[in-house]
C-alpha cells in the first residue's frame, strides 16, 4: 500500500486497532538490533536522535502496509530486526570497500570484493525471503520488500520537504 502523506498514515495508525498493533510491535522490537548500543536511543548524553523517530515511523508504516495480525506481528518483528541487522552488516562491508576504492587502492582484488558484497546482499535477501514466507502468508511476505522501498521513498520525500526535525 502506497501512502501519500504522513498525516494520512498517522491518522490510520492511531485508530484503536492500529495503535494496539503499533504498541505491540514496539514492545516486540529487538533492542539488540538498535544501532545506539547499550546507552539507548538518547545516546550517552540523553539527546534525542532521529533514529528512534524513524524506527517508530517505520513500525507504524509497516503495521499499516502489511496489515499484520497480533500473532503475525509477534513473529515478524524479531525476524525483520535480524534481517536489518544482516543488511547493516553487509552495508558496512560495502561502505568499507568503497572507501578503499575511493582512496585509489584499486586492483583486481577490489573487483572480486565487489562481487562478494553483491553476493552477500543477494544471500541475505534470499535467506530472509524464506524466513518471511515461513512466518507470513506469501502475499504479505512479498509486501515486506515493497514496504521497505515505499518507506525509504517516504523518508526521502519527508527529508526533501523539510519534515524531519533538526
pLDDT band for position 149 (cuts 50, 70, 90):
very high
Question: What confidence tens digit (pLDDT) does each residue in 107-142 have?
Answer: 888 999 999 999 999 999 999 999 999 999 999 999
**What mean pLDDT do residues 38-56 have?**
63
Is the pLDDT reported for residue 106 higher than 90? no
Question: What confidence tens digit (pLDDT) does each residue in 18-34 have?
Answer: 433 443 344 333 333 44
Angle at 8 between CA 5 and CA 4, to 5 degrees: 30
C-alpha span between 29 and 76 (Å, rounded): 9
Angle at 41 between CA 58 and CA 10, to 5 degrees: 30
C-alpha span between 60 and 68 (Å, rounded): 11
Q: What is the dihedral of CA 92, 94, 95, 100, to 10 degrees?
A: 130
C-alpha span between 128 and 43 (Å, rounded): 30
Domain spans of the chain, in order of start: 6-160
Q: What integer pLDDT is reported at residue 41 of this predicted model?
A: 42
C-alpha span between 110 and 116 (Å, rounded): 10
Around 125, how many Cα atoms within 13 Å sit in the side-chain half-sphere?
12
CA 63, 64, 65, 71 torsion-angle sign: positive
Amino acid at each position: 500500500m502506497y501512502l501519500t502523506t504522513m498525516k494520512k498514515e498517522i491518522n490510520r495508525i492511531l485508530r484503536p486497532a492500529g495503535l494496539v498493533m503499533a504498541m505491540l510491535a514496539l514492545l516486540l522490537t529487538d533492542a539488540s538490533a538498535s544501532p545506539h548500543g547499550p546507552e539507548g536511543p538518547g545516546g550517552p548524553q540523553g539527546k534525542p536522535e532521529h533514529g528512534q523517530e524513524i524506527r517508530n515511523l517505520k513500525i507504524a508504516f509497516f503495521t499499516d502496509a502489511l496489515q499484520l495480525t497480533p500473532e503475525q506481528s509477534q513473529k515478524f518483528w524479531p525476524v525483520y530486526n535480524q534481517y536489518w541487522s544482516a543488511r547493516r552488516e553487509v552495508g558496512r562491508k560495502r561502505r568499507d570497500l568503497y572507501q578503499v576504492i575511493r582512496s585509489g587502492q584499486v586492483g583486481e582484488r577490489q573487483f572480486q570484493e565487489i562481487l562478494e558484497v553483491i553476493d552477500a546482499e543477494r544471500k541475505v535477501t534470499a535467506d530472509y525471503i524464506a524466513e518471511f514466507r515461513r512466518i507470513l502468508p506469501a502475499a504479505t511476505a512479498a509486501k515486506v520488500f515493497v514496504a521497505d522501498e515505499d518507506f525509504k521513498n517516504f523518508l526521502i520525500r519527508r527529508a526533501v520537504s523539510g519534515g524531519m526535525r533538526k
